[in-house]
Amino acid sequence: MNLLVLGGVRSGKSRYAEHIAGQGDVPVVMIVTATAGDEEMAARIAAHRARRPQHWQVAEEPVELGRAISRATAPGTVVIVDCLTLWLSNLFALEDAKVLERERAALKSAVAASTGTLVLVSNEVGCGIVPTNALARRFRDEAGILHQELARLCDQVVWMVAGLPVVIKAPARQGAERA
């Protein structure tokens, strides 16, 4: 089962994903994409680390996310990816459109082929004002396109608002056809 968890900053996305992963007595792999570029980000990363169970396996992968997902997914395992917009930022920093397209394709392929439970966490950035600079507009557009592509591939999509999950796309019932 693939689950896409979207929401604004501090909407409860990561906590919700962690809650989903903690529901069963199964192995959990956390793939993190953040890099500590400054003290504030280092503090955020430390807070996430502190609340995760010690027995969860953690893989740091700022660029080759598709490959990391392919390595981690397995039947009976929960894999959390946190977060796609930070991963997209890392790709933008490389300033190489070919790498961006290659890694986006690898991500979509890995999601489509994943086994077990895959929980993708991402910031929805398209609900605010239109950015004043071209780079920020391009990032917003790329994130929106990525979210649409992944929502089609995922069995379930959840929108987090004030710590509350709102189901946007529910898993298809067994025997029912998916759109």
**Per-position b or e across 72-99, b if 16+ CB within 10 A of its CB:** bbeeebbbbbbbbbbbbbbbeeeeeeee
Token pair recorded at residue 145: 């396109």
The 10s digit of each residue's pLDDT in 116-171 is: 999 999 999 988 788 889 999 999 999 999 999 999 999 999 999 999 999 999 98
Domain membership flag for residue 39: yes
Domain membership flag for residue 109: yes
> Is the Cβ–Cβ distance between 139 and 89 less than 8 Å?
yes
Give the range of the structural domain holding residue 75, as residue numbers without chain letter.
2-121+141-169
Domain membership flag for residue 174: no
Domain membership flag for residue 54: yes
Domain membership flag for residue 130: no
Q: Which of 19, 48, 55, 147 is catalytic?
A: 48
Is 177's pLDDT higher than 70? no
The enclosing domain of 108 has a CATH number of 3.40.50.300
Listed in sequence order, the DSSP H helices in the chain are 13-21, 39-51, 65-72, 84-94, 97-113, 134-153
The 10s digit of each residue's pLDDT in 12-21 is: 999 999 999 9
Give yes or no: 147 in active site.
no
Domain membership flag for residue 134: no
Domain membership flag for residue 78: yes
- Total number of domains constituting the chain: 1
Mean pLDDT within 57-78: 96
Domain membership flag for residue 108: yes
- Position 179 scores a pLDDT of 45
Mean pLDDT within 9-38: 92
Under DSSP, the state recorded for 150 is H
Classify the C-alpha dihedral 12-14-15-17 as positive or negative. Answer: positive
